Amino acid sequence: MTRRVKKVIRGNMREEVKAAVIQMEIRKGEPGLNLAKALSLLSQVHREGAQLAVLPEMWLTDFALKDPQPYLPWTEKAIEQLQAAAREKELVIVAGSMMEEEKGQIYNTSYVITAEGVVGKYRKVHLFEPMGELRVFTPGHKALAVDTPLGRLGVIICYDLRFPELTRPLPFQGVEILCVPAQWPIQRVTHWEILLKARAVENQFFVLGCNRWGQGGPYHFPGRSLILDPLGQVLAAIPREGVALATLERRVMEEYRNQIPSLRDSHLVKTPSL
């Protein structure tokens, strides 16, 4: 039996990052209204000194699954507006998720936007069939690790949170902040909080969970967006529509990783075939 030790790659996170989660009510089929609200809330977090902002899943249109085609052009319009906001406000924006069409396929896609434009995108890997996602969307293949001026970010979306194998490679790729846009209903909100904390603790990085707030058809979305440190401690939370901000300190992560070196000690065990 052999033991192979995984190498933990040191990321490039700044010593301090002021991060925000934007918890908003989403009006189905009203992308103009949703975009205006998102831009207003981005202005608010900028005034409060945020450098990183995360929007919820499908914030632009909601899940327009019966007839997505009329709403697809709005994604490009929204990206243009968010790029302008990122340049003007010197923000890194994780644009929740929006519908993306490519070669006839539609994806549930999150965009990472900086002053330089779109620097990365993530297509949701695990599609939630009870919501009908598999009837419209094509799944992605892997989690995202992308460099930004604030450090290397990871991105997954909502239901992906239930699959720890998706995020486990990220700390070994230098990710130190995981962003999780979501539409997580109140019936399972306890799972939302537990799983966000689990991903933070097991990977020893910061986690920003950004959930929808308000009513969407038969579903109630309670928000409860959280900003967590690598120990799973809540740095900020919000109970209603609005924003939550917290300062992420690199020192906290490094001290915890030194005290509990679980990433360093992680290994794969291969048993010889008989």
Query: Which residues are marked as active site?
Result: 57, 124, 158
**CA–CA separation, 183 and 195 (whole Å):** 14
State phi, psi for 134 to the nearest 5 degrees.
-65, -20
State phi, psi for 248 to the nearest 5 degrees.
-95, 120
**CA–CA separation, 151 and 224 (whole Å):** 25
Element at 119 (helix H, strand E)? strand 117-123
Quote the DSSP letter at residue 252: H
Place of tokens 């994604």: 75
Question: 123 near 140, Cβ under 8 Å?
Answer: yes
Question: How many CB atoms lie under 10 A from the CB of residue 61?
Answer: 23
